[in-house]
Amino acid sequence: MNVIASPDTDLAAAARRVLPAGGFGNFAPEVIIREGKGGRVWDVSGKEYIDYLLGSGPMFLGHGHPEVIEAVQAQIPKGCTFFANNEHGIRLAEVLTEALPCAERVRFVSTGSEADMYAMRVARAFRKRDRILKFEGGYHGMSDWGLMSLAPKRLANFPVAVPDSAGIPKSIQEEVLVAPFNDLETAKAMIAAHHDELGGVIVEPFQRLIPPAPGFLQGLREITAQYGIPLIFDEVVTGFRFCYGGAQSYYGVTPDLCTLGKIVGGGFALAAIAGRADIMAHFDRGLVGDDGFLMQVGTLSGNPVAAVAGLKTLEILKRPGAYDGVLAYGRKMMAELAGLLKQRGVPGQVLGEPTLFDVVFSAEELRDYRAVMRADANIAKAVNASLRESGILKGDSKYYLSTAHDARDCDQTLSAFAKALASLPAR
């Protein structure tokens, strides 16, 4: 008897032959997506999912938004990349400077990791200091500097940095100081003690899922301004997600620099560093000379296909009421998920903002990485597995919402979550 392999098993076997760990290093390699439309995706076996992964966040308008597709299709026959200025990239930079309080100049790259790496580098070039202060649990890309105390399994005393990956030079640990998120007094003390060594302070204004405590971002702004240290907001995730002007507008705190990605590329490879003209001048040899010049070259930086996708995405998001539906959806989801936890008697809470949140299975106050790390990971794993079985696709620690999700998606998600809780062992 001949056995015909299904597309998913055949592809999975091919992936294991040619890819380390059988995947791209991103999401669970056993999930192989065939296509997406709106707020849903289908895998190669034909299974349909409500998509809260959204490509790790870029697809804020959902998959295949007709206006974005039309703009991209119009550009492709005219050229996919030029390694030179193009009108669409210039226009997108104009839009970003108009939208974001901190943005006087913009430099494009292709990934959020690059944006964060160059933001830290340009801050160091401006300050002529080598060290960077970041916050434990903050994600700032895949550079050696970014992969310090993102998710340390071995906790160290602050301000000691812990590398998250093999292959990082030990010397990098000496150049990164680590503070606890939402602990303003500790951060201020560290900055004051090391101010003459610091090139910059980088922070996710909304750290993974944790909102800033009242006054935390304002306090960081004040202490860094006091010492003339560039404050960098990593807005790769939050840029244009909470509101049109990003987290800096949402929380009312203006950094010196910010990094952008995900939404601003409309699903294509585009990211950016934006900020004060005097700091961004270090990308311009003519303004700062050879000694102050920061070299940055990227084959696809600002390529026109990504730029038109980003332009159209931001045009749509600027329209009156563009965020109303997704915010209402998110508020309803957060409230209903919390209600189901209470009804079932499962210790947990819904943490985040209406367009980006998750359920954390812990009863303690969740203000920083260490508190979130103490949550019950086994329950989270079981619930996420049950949700996937029920056709809900999400990452290990996030629901990314899109403007394409609707009431039917909400009802199906809540039903799947109730089922997942019901399958947990009795407490």
Residues serving a catalytic function are 139, 234, 262
CB 360 within 8 A of CB 349: yes
Tokens of 313: 């995405």
CB 403 within 8 A of CB 324: no
Cα 6 from Cα 343, distance rounded (Å): 41
Residue in 340, 412, 348 with CA at minimum distance from that of residue 378: 348
Cα 126 from Cα 293, distance rounded (Å): 10
Query: For tokens 């995900």, what's the residue?
Result: 262
User: Omega into 347 within 30° of 0, i.e. cis?
Assistant: no
CB 391 within 8 A of CB 48: yes
Cα 153 from Cα 272, distance rounded (Å): 31
Cα 338 from Cα 341, distance rounded (Å): 5
55-to-39, 183, 311, 398, 408 alpha-carbon distances in Å: 11, 32, 19, 12, 21
